[in-house]
Structure 1
Amino acid sequence: MLGPINYLTRHFINVLAGSTAFIVSVVNISGIAMILSLPLAMGAYYLSNKITFAVQNANQRKKIGLSKSEYQLIDAQLKQAKAHTQSLTQQIVRVRSIRSFKQINEMSKLSKRIINIVQTNPQKFYAVEDFFYAHLPSAVQLSDKYTLLTKEQVTGNEIHLALEDTRKTLKDLHVTMEEDLKNALASDIENLKIELDFAKMSNEKRKERLKVGGE
């Protein structure tokens, strides 16, 4: 859940630590022992990375008000969701109908939007837990099942019914994931409404003051 700035900062510190260790070891170690300089620099880089990463995570947890266990849980779910979304995206090129292509493509886009929202504001995870635990995994499983059935090109009433049932369930999941997105955005929309109401009230008061002043 750390952003690109944290990534760049961390690796700048790591390179600085590794370079410093290498220079110090070269200056202070002579002869055949100098072969240890590179391993020491690599060790310093690795250790610096572990420490800096831990500090950045701790600062991020404190900033967003999550406990260590909550932060780790959400981070793990985000990683899993990204893997699921990648699998869902891969199904797009395997489907054999325009309708299914559009549907799975839209579900993939919805998934990415929800993941990005939670990545930016991890507290929103609790508003869309079902998306991570049930809806997205089900979408991946069903799309995989659907593409497998269509790939076999087996005719018969049973296969036809299975395909229709899978299409219907995927359509229902699409609607459900749209609701997940709305839930993820709900607090932002509510805050926007409050800000708009406040702005309108402030504008009305300003007009009243101007009116009184003009009289």
Structure 2
Amino acid sequence: MKNPLLFTTRLVIAVPLASAAGLLLANQFGLSPLLASVGAAVTGAVLYIAIGKYADQRLYKKYGLTRKEFNYIQENLREAKKKLRRLQNVFIRVRSISSLKQMLELNRLVRRIFSVVKKEPKRFYEAEAFFYSHLDSVVELAEKYALLNTQKLKNPEVKQSLLETKETLGDLSKTLEKDLHKVLAKDIEHLTFELDVAKHSLKDRKLLDHPDERRTK
């Protein structure tokens, strides 16, 4: 993983300890400067790798994923990010207000799903259809629509194609809403449960505060 903070932390820990190891080998064990330097370099490399592996394992455990699963999801996120940029570039080629609103909504849904999975990689498995199919369809159709929309001469065929593409993008927007709902399903269930608990708690408190109401029932 390319993490600048982790890279710096590993260096900050490994370099001083490697230097200390080199001094120890030279002063306490009487090794030559060359051998002590080699020993220090080996110590630093081992520490650097070990700290990285330890950090990775903690990260995989945090997300409840194996190393293979985590790396696979990160690769899909990198590919998705490229597609998000392509979708964003469509804005500059869209002219009508209605089309711009549609593109804004598509971008909002796509980025919301992406950000949720990026924050919690395990949710990738609840949005596989989005990453494997729906995102590609949205990007390709949006680019096609933008291309047709920039044509100066719009014959009946181009106009019909524009209309059909816009309608299909509308259908895909509904599909993305379903994808987002699926990704957030656990949060929605949890929120519903918490609301139910809160309602019951308020009801019980109300009965305690007004015992007369309980007697009349």
2:82 aligned partner: 83
Assess if the C-alpha contact under 8 Å between 2:110 and 2:135 holds in 1: yes
By how many angstroms is 1:54 displaced? 4.0
By how many angstroms is 1:161 displaced? 1.6
TM-score for the superposition, normalised by structure 2: 0.75
Cα 1:52/1:24, change in 2 over 3 Å: closer
1:13 matches 2:13: no
1:189 matches 2:188: yes
By how many angstroms is 1:56 displaced? 2.7
1:147 aligned partner: 146
Assess if the C-alpha contact under 8 Å between 1:10 and 1:52 holds in 2: no
After superposition, what is the alpha-carbon deviation per residue over 1:25-76, rounded to whole angstroms, capped at 9, x for unaligned?
8xx898xx9xx9xxx7xxx69x93x654443332122122222332222211
2:91 aligned partner: 92
Larger Cα-atom Rg: 2
Assess if the C-alpha contact under 8 Å between 2:10 and 2:52 holds in 1: no
By how many angstroms is 1:149 displaced? 1.7
Amino acid at match of 2:10: I
Please give the root-mean-square deviation of Cα atoms over the aligned residues, in Å.
Answer: 3.5
Cα 1:148/1:18, change in 2 over 3 Å: farther
Q: Secondary structure at the match of 2:8?
A: helix
Cα 1:208/1:69, change in 2 over 3 Å: same
Cα 1:92/1:184, change in 2 over 3 Å: same
Amino acid at match of 1:190: E
Percent of residue pairs bearing the same amino acid type: 36
After superposition, what is the alpha-carbon deviation per residue over 1:120-172, rounded to whole angstroms, capped at 9, x for unaligned?
22222222211111111111111111112222323322222211111111111
Specify every segment of 5 or more residues in structure 2 that has no aligned partner in the other structure, as ranges: 27-31
1:173 aligned partner: 172
Assess if the C-alpha contact under 8 Å between 1:95 and 1:101 holds in 2: yes
Assess if the C-alpha contact under 8 Å between 1:131 and 1:180 holds in 2: yes
Amino acid at match of 2:57: A
By how many angstroms is 1:20 displaced? 6.7
Cα 1:10/1:184, change in 2 over 3 Å: same
TM-score for the superposition, normalised by structure 1: 0.75
1:72 matches 2:81: no
By how many angstroms is 1:23 displaced? 9.6
Specify every segment of 5 or more residues in structure 1 that has no aligned partner in the other structure, as ranges: none
Amino acid at match of 1:100: S
Amino acid at match of 1:79: R
After superposition, what is the alpha-carbon deviation per residue over 1:63-118, rounded to whole angstroms, capped at 9, x for unaligned?
22222332222211111111111110111111122221221122112111111111
Amino acid at match of 2:9: F
